[in-house]
């Protein structure tokens, strides 16, 4: 499973990209609103750091507006993928954009039927929101598993699932066990994934023992 970073925070993206584990990034209007500066400039800089798809979301409500915005956003950088909120207007926009060769990521997907429709409209990616489903007492990962199964049943579907709205490391592990191709993970969770107390204790013990051998190197 590939790991994307789910933030618009350039400092975090720069730092975590240097770990060598990030293959894409996702943003949304909320994440962009938390940063200073022109949204297009933020997106351009993310694209310079991350060598992979970078999702930029449209805010128009109708197909025409979405397509117009998408054309503008895709001029920012070749890494840009257009995030389109799920809905009838969104499906129409995805169809049109796929015909123009503009990649899309259909967002706010909460059911397998929505995922299937987005795929058939020609979405390059779809983003089911696990955490937000869990928040309302639904099993978000069960929905992801069903979507992955459906897409695997039909090899002509080339749409990739990006597991989104991830809240903790177990979401990432579960997504990988299901066989989801991509998870987009907030910096906080990526940092939690690094940590294991036994790794820290192990390093401490090795360094302590090495002290006893150090003199022999002279
Ligand atoms: C990414 O594509 C989504 O916009 C993001 O994961 C949503 O996360 P949230 O539900 O924590 O806001």
Residue nearest to atom 12 of ligand 1 (CA): 165
Question: 166 by DSSP, 3-state: which?
Answer: coil
Q: Which helix (H) or strand (E) holds 28?
A: none
5 vs 22: CA distance, rounded Å? 7
Which ligand 1 atom is at minimum distance from the Cα of 129?
Answer: 10
Q: Which of 58, 129, 166 to mutate to test the pocket of ligand 1 (most atoms within 8 A of CB)?
A: 129
Those residues whose C-beta lies under 8 Å from the C-beta of residue 136, and which sit 6 or more positions away, are: none
Residues carrying an active site annotation: 83
Burial class (CB in 10 A: 0-12, 13-18, 19+), 172: buried
Which ligand 1 atom is at minimum distance from the Cα of 105?
Answer: 2
- The pair of structure tokens assigned to 82 is 């257009």
Q: Total domain count for the chain?
A: 1
Predicted local confidence at residue 218, as pLDDT: 85
Those residues whose C-beta lies under 8 Å from the C-beta of residue 194, and which sit 6 or more positions away, are: none
What is the sign of the dihedral through the CA atoms of 7, 80, 65 and 119? negative
CATH code, domain carrying 194: 3.20.20.70
- The pair of structure tokens assigned to 96 is 């049109």
- Nearest-CA neighbor of 162 among 109, 117, 101? 109
Go through the chain and tell me how many residues it has: 218
179 Cα: distance to centroid of ligand 1 (angstroms): 20
- The pair of structure tokens assigned to 120 is 């058939």
Q: Which range marks the domain in which residue 213 is found?
A: 2-217
6 within 8 A of 166, measured Cβ to Cβ: yes
Alpha helices in 58-186 (DSSP H): 63-74, 88-99, 112-121, 130-135, 140-153, 169-178
| Per-residue pLDDT tens digits for 170-183 | 999 999 999 999 99
121 within 8 A of 140, measured Cβ to Cβ: no
Profile the chain (218 residues) by mean pLDDT over runs of 10 residues.
98 98 98 98 98 98 98 98 98 98 98 98 98 98 98 98 98 98 98 98 97 91
Pocket of ligand 1 (CB under 6 A): 6, 26, 28, 107, 127, 129, 131-132, 164-165, 184
96 Cα: distance to centroid of ligand 1 (angstroms): 25
74 Cα: distance to centroid of ligand 1 (angstroms): 21
Residue nearest to atom 1 of ligand 1 (CA): 164
């Amino acid at each position: 499973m590939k790991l994307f970073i789910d933030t618009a925070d350039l400092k975090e993206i720069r730092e975590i990209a240097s770990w060598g584990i990030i293959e894409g990034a996702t943003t949304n209007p909320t994440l962009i609103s938390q940063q200073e500066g022109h949204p297009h400039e933020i997106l351009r800089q993310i694209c310079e750091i991350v060598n992979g798809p970078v999702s930029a979301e449209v805010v128009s409500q109708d197909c025409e507006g979405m397509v117009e915005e998408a054309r503008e956003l895709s001029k920012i950088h070749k890494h840009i993928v257009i995030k389109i909120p799920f809905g009838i207007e969104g499906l129409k926009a995805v169809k049109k954009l796929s015909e123009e060769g503009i990649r899309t990521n259909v967002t706010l997907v909460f059911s397998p039927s929505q995922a299937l429709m987005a795929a058939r409209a020609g979405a390059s990616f779809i983003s089911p929101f696990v955490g937000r489903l869990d928040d309302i007492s639904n099993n978000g990962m069960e929905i992801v598993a069903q979507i992955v199964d459906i897409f695997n049943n039909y090899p002509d579907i080339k749409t990739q699932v990006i597991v989104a709205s991830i809240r903790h490391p177990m979401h990432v592990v579960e997504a990988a066990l299901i066989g989801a191709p991509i998870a987009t993970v907030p910096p906080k969770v990526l940092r939690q994934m690094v940590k294991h107390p036994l790794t820290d204790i192990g390093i401490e013990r090795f360094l302590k023992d090495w002290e006893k051998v150090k003199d022999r190197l002279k």
